[in-house]
Structure 1
Amino acid sequence: MPLALIFAALLYLDQYQQGLLAAEVSALREQARIYAGAIAQTAVQVNNGQPAVSPDQAQPLLYSLTEPTPNAQALIYGTDGTLIANSRVHPGAGGAIVTQPLSAPPPPGFLSRVVGFIYDHLSGSVTGNEDESGLVGSGAGQDPNTLGWQPDARTVLQLTSTNPGQEAAPFVRRDSEGLLLVTVAEPVERSQQVIGTVLLTREASEVDQAVLSVRISILGLFALALALTVIVSFYLSRTIASPITRLADAADRLREGRARAQKLPETITGRNDEIGTLARTLESSAQALWARMDAIEKFAADVSHEIKNPLSSIRSAIETLTRVEDPARASRLLAIINQDVQRLDRLITDISDSSRLDSELSRSRYEIVDMARMLATLAEIHDATRKEGSPFIEVDAQAEGLYVRGSETRLVQVLRNLIGNAISFSPPDAKIYLRGRETGGMIELAVEDEGPGIPDGKLDSIFDRFYSERPQTEQFGSHSGLGLSISRQIVEAHQGRISAENRRDDEGKIVGARFVIRLPKAGD
């Protein structure tokens, strides 16, 4: 668009040239009127009762009038087209007649001709007109006569054959050397009668020079803009188009599964602009995708392993059952099969819940959840359903301000899971503490028990899938080992963290376990 605007400005220089020519014609016409008035007052003779221009008086007067004007020539014609006076002819020494040549400026130089040629062809290709001589007036484009500058007598009569009071059209053309010439004709009137015509011609090199200067400026600006456009285009190609193409290739390799071991060049990821941000985002997305695929593969392998155990037990029990005749042993084998079926059903249920958890959380509509009210409600439910010998639950949480944004159902699932684990490991009539507080823009929740605690080397492993560290009094297979893993998955989906630690007394002895949940506080 900038180049197109500059090109349009180059084409519309005609208007600028027309304005300069109009000013030149106006000034020249005013000068011709002065000449005509002077001739009508001082160089008129009467022949047969009719006024006429006197050649003897008009010649020196015309010479004196035009002498201060360089590059100009004035002619006086009679009403019949006869040449009466020429400003370039005057008496010399001894009465001889001398013709003074015109001191015309040198013809246009090479640069002017080249620029004019380029402009004329560009303008002609767009406007369909390559003739610039008809910018002002009539008679344009005609060849000059033998006088060099002036039109012939027939043309003079045409220029002055207008209605009384109406200005004759100027005569604008170029000579064989390419010089721009402007001619105007003004009638010589005496007693409201036209007795002759003053024809004034002047070379308008100033117009060409002004137009040439503007043309060169516009062409130079066009060349500069073109060069800058090429440079900027090359720069953008190297800094934007090429990196984006490489990113597209990397994304294509990622789609085909061939980009796992490949990384984007440091020259792209190290950039501090939008391309670098896009590259780093694409690379981190690819790493997250591969990590998710690895997790899915590991999860599939763990599921396969965990399902094989009860299936192998069921198969062994069925094979043994076909060969056992003792009813008591057969009953025990059927009980084992029933336990394994229940274990398998629980395992499949938890696996299904874990596998669809991410998609459910992504579709869930998060709301403001009052965690203080949730802790109190869970304690009330436990007290209402508590069996004899089960632990007691105490709530130690601030009544206001424990608000988080999330899925209430899933957060309840996390706390119930932690409370269930605490009940499993707590001795009879022990206490479980539910604590809640606000710290540093985070809501911190804790579930504490008075059980045996967690082995120091297992504080992180207990959150792995299918990890199970159960009390000896608990029936085998009653848990799938996915509870804490699902809890961590839910908490991390809420932009939080969950961790485990041991409670110790003053002597450093383990007196229980503590699970801590940290969630971002909900904004106002």
Structure 2
Amino acid sequence: MADTISPGRLERMARPLGGSLTARTLAVNLIPLLLLAGGLFFLDSYRRQLLQERFNLARIEAQIAAEALSGATRARQEALMIQIGKEQHLRLRMYNPAGELDADSFALAPPSFVFDDPVAEPFLEDFARWTDSAVNVLVGAPSPAPYLEPQSTRADAWPEVVRARELGYTQIELLSAPDGTPVINTAAPVGVQGYTLLTTRNAVDITQSVRNARSQLLSAIGIALMVSIVLSLYLANTIIQPLRRLVRAAVAVRTGREREVEVPRMSERGDEIGVLARAVSDMTGTLRHRIDAVESFAADVAHEIKNPLASLRSAIESLPKVKDEALRGQLIEVAAHDVQRIDRLVSDISEASRIDAEISRAKFEAVDLGRMVGHLIAAREERGLNLGRRIELAVNGHRTVVMGVALRLERIISNLLDNAISFSPEGGAVEVRVERQGERVVTTVSDHGPGIAPDKREDVFRRFHSDRPDAEGFGHHSGLGLAIARTIAEAHGGSLYVADRSDGAPGACLVLDLPGVE
């Protein structure tokens, strides 16, 4: 009896143990996004490339400005510093050979740029700076020192100026403004008089370029992420959800609730999921049919064995009470007959229940059916199994070879001959014909008995069918012979059925149709 399983427990049983396909599909779709997110490292490379280009530009600018200031009059130097600072958004400072500040463009004219105050900026700028810091930490970018105006106005307050004076060539230093943007200080010697020029640039455009590129990348990642999620959910709806429906149905069938479950066939789907659904549905139908057959077979077995057991029990219980020796002998004879009947039933039932399994494991070999039938008829004649009936064999041609298990095919022919002999009149004939018909090998066994009514032709293949001739003693047949024969035929890819005699004469005609071999 099947256990009662709640829908919640059934759902849990249908869940995969190794992670759902939805999660796996989403994970696989996210892999390209992770690769796309690796573009952050490219952005760091892009930022460093921009800085390097700006370093080169700053070196050239400082050297050109130093060359222009060299040898110029004081008034001309101040005018050039104001002009260059205004046009290039630079701050220019000139130090004399003693290291003292000689001129400052921000003192000579209004400043050409001002550092942004992060405290006064809106929240979006704060978020952008936080993102800059997070990405720098992620990619391992070095953090430049903060730009601080020294209290001293001397040249030794700037390390880059000190190096330029000592080494005699241009020096560059990268610093960070209060708002996190890069500040490029460039120190260059001015002529041979010992003067040094210091230029300062706030390269906010580099930060803005990197932020724009990062914003575009993040937008692309966001769009790709949404598309990936939508596609994953679409796949889950079109592939995974139908699979889950099939899993729930299969679990319900496995737990003994197959009568309550309608396995979805998904006829509208022409893909592999639809093929799988229809295969599972057909498999479930076959399983139900087999279960019904087994239950019916078990009930028939119980019924068939119960009758001889009841007769045997009655005979044994009556023996102690009967004093008449003749009557006691009859009771013993009845008991012995019932034991033989039970033994025959058990043997046939055992054979019927294991035929499919045995044939599925057996190795099929080429069998010449015409020759096999001839040998079988000769052997029956020698043992007197034909009970005075004549068996007339006709083999049409020599292409009567089939693939199968010889012993099982002999069992089919023996059962058909036994059945025909049982219904044939004393001294009558049984005609057996084996012939090739196209790609099939057809064997017919015909008798001259009462025949089988059209509406009873399928009943003779039903297990425990017991419509026997009146002259035959009760209990000599189990009623499984033709059922076993049909099972063997179907296991060989063939069929066994009742047909009309080809000559129109009265009598039964059973036909064995098997696939032939060239």
Answer yes or no: same fold by TM over 0.5.
Answer: yes
Q: Secondary structure at the match of 2:38?
A: helix
Q: 1:170 to 1:351 in 2, by over 3 A?
A: same
Checking the alignment, whether the CA contact within 8 Å between 1:81 and 1:156 is kept in structure 2 is no
Who is 1:367 aligned against? 364
With the length of structure 2 as denominator, give the TM-score of the two structures: 0.79
Give the aligned residue type for 2:309.
L
Q: What is aligned with 2:158? A: 156
Comparing 424-433 with 100-109, greater Cα deviation is found at 100-109
- Could you tell me how far apart the structure 1 residues matched to 2:151 and 2:349 are? 110
Q: CA deviation at 1:203?
A: 3.5
- Give 1 or 2: higher strand fraction: 1
Where does the alignment leave 5 or more consecutive residues of structure 1 unmatched? Answer: 44-53, 90-97, 135-139
Q: Distance in 1 between matches of 2:171 and 2:481?
A: 103
One of 181, 184, 198 as aligned partner of 1:182: 184
Cα distance, 1:14–1:146 mapped onto 2, change above 3 Å: farther
Task: Identify the residue that residue 77 of structure 1 maps to in structure 2.
Answer: 95
Report the equivalent of 1:382: 377
Paired with 1:153 and 1:85, the residues of 2 have a C-alpha distance of 12
Task: Give the Cα separation in 2 of the matches to 1:384 and 1:133.
Answer: 103
Q: How has the CA–CA distance of structure 1 residues 410 and 504 changed in structure 2, closer, same or farther, with 3 Å as cutoff?
A: closer
- AA aligned opposite 1:197: T
- Whether the 8 Å contact between 1:112 and 1:212 is mirrored in structure 2 is no
Q: 1:504 touches 1:510 (CA, 8 Å); kept in 2?
A: no
What displacement does 1:330 show? 4.5
Within a 5 Å distance, the mapping from 1:29-178 to structure 2 comes to 29-40=59-70, 42-43=71-72, 55-63=74-82, 69-86=87-104, 99-102=109-112, 113-121=126-134, 123-124=136-137, 126=138, 133-134=143-144, 140-144=145-149, 153-156=155-158, 158-161=160-163, 169-176=171-178
Q: Secondary structure at the match of 1:170?
A: strand
Q: 1: distance between equivalents of 2:135 and 2:80?
A: 47
Matching residue's letter, 1:184: T
How far residue 177 of structure 1 moved from its aligned partner, in angstroms, is 5.0
The letter of the residue matching 1:450 is D
What is the CA-CA distance between 1:143 and the residue it aligns to? 1.9
Structure 1 letter corresponding to 2:101:
L
The sequence identity of aligned pairs, in percent, is 32
In the TM superposition, residue 224 of structure 1 has moved relative to its aligned partner by 1.9
Deviation at 1:212, TM superposition (A): 1.3
Shift of 1:437: 2.3
Q: Is the 8 A contact 2:500 2:508 kept in 1?
A: yes
One of 421, 435, 455 as aligned partner of 1:457: 455
Change over 3 Å in CA distance of 1:381–1:486 after alignment to 2: closer
1:478-517 correspondence runs (5 A)? 478-505=476-503, 508-517=504-513
**Worse-superposed segment, 202-211 or 166-175:** 166-175
Check 1:123–1:200 CA distance in 2 against 1; reply closer, same or farther (3 A cut).
closer
Compared with structure 1, are the counterparts of its residues 119 and 271 closer, same or farther at alpha carbon in structure 2 (3 Å cutoff)? farther
Aligned partner of residue 254 in structure 1, secondary structure: helix
Partner of 2:230: 231
Closer, same or farther: CA 409–204 of 1 in aligned 2, 3 Å: farther
Shift of residue 353, structure 1, vs aligned partner = 1.1
Q: Please name the residue that 1:219 is paired with.
A: 218
1:22-80 deviation per Cα after TM superposition (whole angstroms, max 9, x unaligned): 1111122122222333444x43xxxxxxxxxx53443344456666x432343332233
Q: Identify the structure with bigger relative contact order (alpha carbons < 8 Å, sequence gap 6+).
A: 2
Q: How far is 1:502 from its partner?
A: 2.0
Stretch deviating more after TM superposition (479-488 or 70-79): 70-79
Q: Which letter maps to 1:218?
A: L
Q: Identify, as 1 or 2, the structure richer in helix.
A: 2
Q: Which amino acid aligns with 2:134?
A: H
For the Cα contact (< 8 Å) 2:93–2:103, is it kept in 1? yes
Aligned partners of 2:182 and 2:203 also within 8 Å: yes
Q: Which protein has the larger Cα radius of gyration, Structure 1 or Structure 2?
A: 1
Is the counterpart of residue 424 in structure 1 residue 422 in structure 2?
A: yes
How far apart are 1:444 and its partner, in Å? 3.6
8 Å contact from structure 1 (residues 71, 104) kept in 2: no
Contact 1:504 1:512 in 2 (8 A): no
Match of 1:22 in 2: 52
Q: Bigger shift: 199-208 or 55-64? A: 55-64
Distance verdict in 2 for CA 1:178–1:314, change over 3 Å: closer
Q: Which runs of 5+ in 2 are unaligned?
A: 1-30
Instruction: Tell whether 2:15 aligns with 1:10.
Output: no
Equivalent pair of 2:372/2:410 in contact (CA under 8 Å) = no
Moved more, 21-30 or 335-344: 335-344
C-alpha distance in 2, partners of 1:369/1:231?
Answer: 59
Instruction: Please point out which of 350, 353, 362 is paired with 2:351.
Output: 353
- Counterpart code for 2:184: V
Alpha-carbon shift at residue 261 of structure 1 (Å): 2.7
| Whole-Å separation in 2 of the counterparts to 1:161 and 1:155 | 11
How far apart are residue 476 of structure 1 and its match?
2.8
Please report the RMSD computed on the Cα atoms of aligned residues, expressed in angstroms: 3.7
**CA displacement, residues 352-373 of structure 1 (integer Å, 9 cap, x when unaligned):** 11122233234x1332423xx1
2:288 to 283, 287, 290: 290
Tell me if the contact between 2:190 and 2:196 (Cα under 8 Å) persists in the aligned partners: yes
Residue 258 (structure 1) shift: 3.6
